[in-house]
Amino acid sequence: RLSLMEMVHRPELCAQVTCMPVDLLGVDAAVLFADIMLPLEGMGIPFAIREGVGPVVGDPIRSPAQVRRIRVLAAEEATPYLFSAIRLARAQLGERAALIGFAASPFTLACYLVEGSGSRDYPHVRALMHDQPALWHQLMTTLTEILARYLLAQAGAGVQLVQVFDSWVGVLDAVSFQHQVAPHLTRLFAALAPTVPALYFSTGSAHLLRGIAGTGAPGVSVDWRLAPRPSLAPAWAATASSEGNLGPGSWCCAQWDVLNARRGGG
């Protein structure tokens, strides 16, 4: 049995797994088989993915010296195996389906780097953000550059859409998001805009919608806890598309009244 990291380091296997939903189910898009922590390999930051725990960074980044030591490499040099897998998957898919790539957002990647692992409240992240704001922005600026290179290289290798996962941004209040996170997202989406469409995914973030709208994200995955139409229209009107907003359980129990309401039919 291979681990996730062993699989992603084998381009042929990674491409095969990526294409399986299209081959077996006939869906119209394939999502790259990868992990949001892969950029850390090029950054020179050791990490592990532990069963039942998730990503773990053994030496969390909390000092200026640690931030300065982060390497910023060309993406193809940092994770060459991934781009080989993208090219193989793109060739195997042909015209049958689109290929979707992804990465963590600067904030979510920073959460793992600073906290060391997943957390309910991210106290070390909050402390760095508010007690050392200059260092926080230095870290976020570096991560934004790395992730922009990483996603643009994915597009160059053959993905046609990228998704930016901000899994932990919901722990922030709207003011912290606006000042500590949004400027870096704005730079990231501006860097991607000429080359590849991007979709921004976050959870527990209904209270951040207006701030998210201001980042220039061309597409937004809306938190399923939020009723879509009344809330979305004032936030970004015609400036961005939206998707999602459907609770995971709705598909399992065929709640057609819920599905109808979520798509605007009730």
pLDDT at 93: 98
Element (DSSP H or E) covering residue 54:
strand 54-57
Alpha carbon distance 1, 4 (integer Å): 10
Query: For residue 14, what is the domain's CATH number?
Result: 3.20.20.210
pLDDT at 166: 97
pLDDT at 238: 55
Whether the Cβ atoms of residue 39 and residue 150 lie closer than 8 Å to each other: yes
pLDDT at 94: 96
Burial 42-57 (b: 16+ CB within 10 A, else e): bbebebeeeeeeebbb
Whether the Cβ atoms of residue 77 and residue 4 lie closer than 8 Å to each other: no
Q: Which domain holds residue 167?
A: 4-262
26 by DSSP, 3-state: which?
coil
**What are the C-alpha distances in Å from 94 to residues 11, 30, 83, 91, 211?**
17, 11, 17, 5, 38
Write the CB contacts of 262 (distance below 8 Å, at least 6 apart in sequence).
228, 245, 246, 250
The count of domains in the chain is 1
pLDDT at 95: 95
Q: Match 């959870």 to its residue by tokens.
A: 203
pLDDT one digit per residue (tens) for the chain, 266 residues: 899 999 999 999 999 999 999 999 999 999 999 999 999 999 999 999 998 889 999 999 999 999 999 999 999 999 999 999 999 999 999 999 999 999 999 999 999 999 999 998 999 999 999 999 999 999 999 999 999 999 999 999 999 999 999 999 999 999 999 999 999 999 999 999 999 999 999 999 989 988 998 999 999 987 777 665 555 545 555 556 666 655 666 656 655 565 566 555 44
Q: Identity (one letter) of the amino acid at 217?
A: A
**β-pairing verdict for 54-57 and 47-50:** antiparallel
